[in-house]
């Protein structure tokens, strides 16, 4: 599976967040800035608790409370920076919505892994369905549930290396 490449953006995530907050009469506080920077330091799917762990292990002065992380994540979703992609082990899983191409996910029910894919014909089919129903599409989210290739391999094949010892 090919990796999706990031989309070039002219405004940094922190600046885009600041713009959004300004329209709501809020400020980009140092805590909110820490959250944005940590979230956009790598493109990975993450759940809120993983992010809380990462931010609470930071050095004094850059630590952010759990409540602030949760609140900021919701604000970032509203600002169009993040989107919730799924729930795994009862936690919300997020990913970048800003600066990243539209894509869909295969979600493994066993290990919880998310595999990203882009498929243009699929988007065309959804457009066609919507047109038939007189529906104007602004976006879509497709989640396919099942078992990933690694998890669906028979146990024998998975442990072959051990058997040979
Ligand atoms: Zn799996
Ligand atoms: Zn994704």
* Predicted confidence (pLDDT) per residue in 107-127, tens digit: 898 888 889 898 889 988 999
Which pLDDT score is estimated for 162?
55
Q: State which of 67, 99, 131 marks the end of a domain.
A: 99
Which pLDDT score is estimated for 57?
77
Max mean pLDDT range (2-16, 27-41, 61-75): 27-41
Name the DSSP class of 73: H
Closest ligand to C-alpha of residue 45 is 2
On the question of pLDDT at 1 being above 50, the answer is: no
109 C-alpha to ligand 1 centroid (Å): 7
**Domains of the chain: total:** 2
How would you label 3-40 residue by residue, b for 16+ Cβ within 10 Å and e otherwise? Answer: eeeeeeeeeebbebbbebbeeeeeebeebbbbbbebbb
155 C-alpha to ligand 2 centroid (Å): 28
Q: Is 145 part of any domain? A: yes
116 C-alpha to ligand 1 centroid (Å): 13
Question: Over the chain, what is the mean pLDDT?
Answer: 85
Q: Is 138 part of any domain? A: yes
In this prediction, residue 103 has a pLDDT band, given cuts at 50, 70 and 90, of confident
50 C-alpha to ligand 1 centroid (Å): 19
Alpha-carbon gap, residue 42 to 4, rounded angstroms = 13
Does 111 share its domain with 61?
no
Domain that holds residue 26: 8-99
In this prediction, residue 45 has a pLDDT band, given cuts at 50, 70 and 90, of confident
Does 120 share its domain with 146?
yes
* CATH number of 31's domain: 1.10.10.10
150 C-alpha to ligand 2 centroid (Å): 19
Reduced to 3 states (helix: H, G, I; strand: E, B; else coil), residue 108 is strand
Alpha-carbon gap, residue 10 to 15, rounded angstroms = 10
């Amino acid at each position: 599976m090919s990796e999706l490449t990031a989309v070039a953006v002219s405004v940094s995530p922190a600046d885009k967040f600041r713009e959004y907050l300004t329209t709501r009469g809020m400020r980009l506080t140092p805590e909110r800035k820490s959250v944005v920077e940590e979230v956009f330091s790598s493109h990975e799917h993450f759940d809120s608790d993983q992010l809380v762990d990462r931010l609470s292990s930071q050095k004094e002065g850059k630590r952010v409370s759990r409540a602030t992380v949760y609140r900021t994540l919701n604000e970032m979703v509203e600002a169009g920076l993040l989107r919730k992609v799924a729930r795994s082990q009862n936690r919300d899983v997020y990913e970048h919505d800003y600066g990243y191409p539209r894509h869909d996910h295969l979600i493994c029910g066993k290990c919880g892994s998310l595999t990203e894919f882009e498929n243009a014909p699929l988007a065309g089919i959804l457009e066609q369905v919507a047109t038939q129903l007189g529906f104007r599409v602004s976006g879509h989210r497709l989640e396919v549930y099942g078992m990933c290739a690694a998890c669906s391999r028979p146990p024998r094949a998975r442990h072959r290396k051990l058997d040979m010892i």
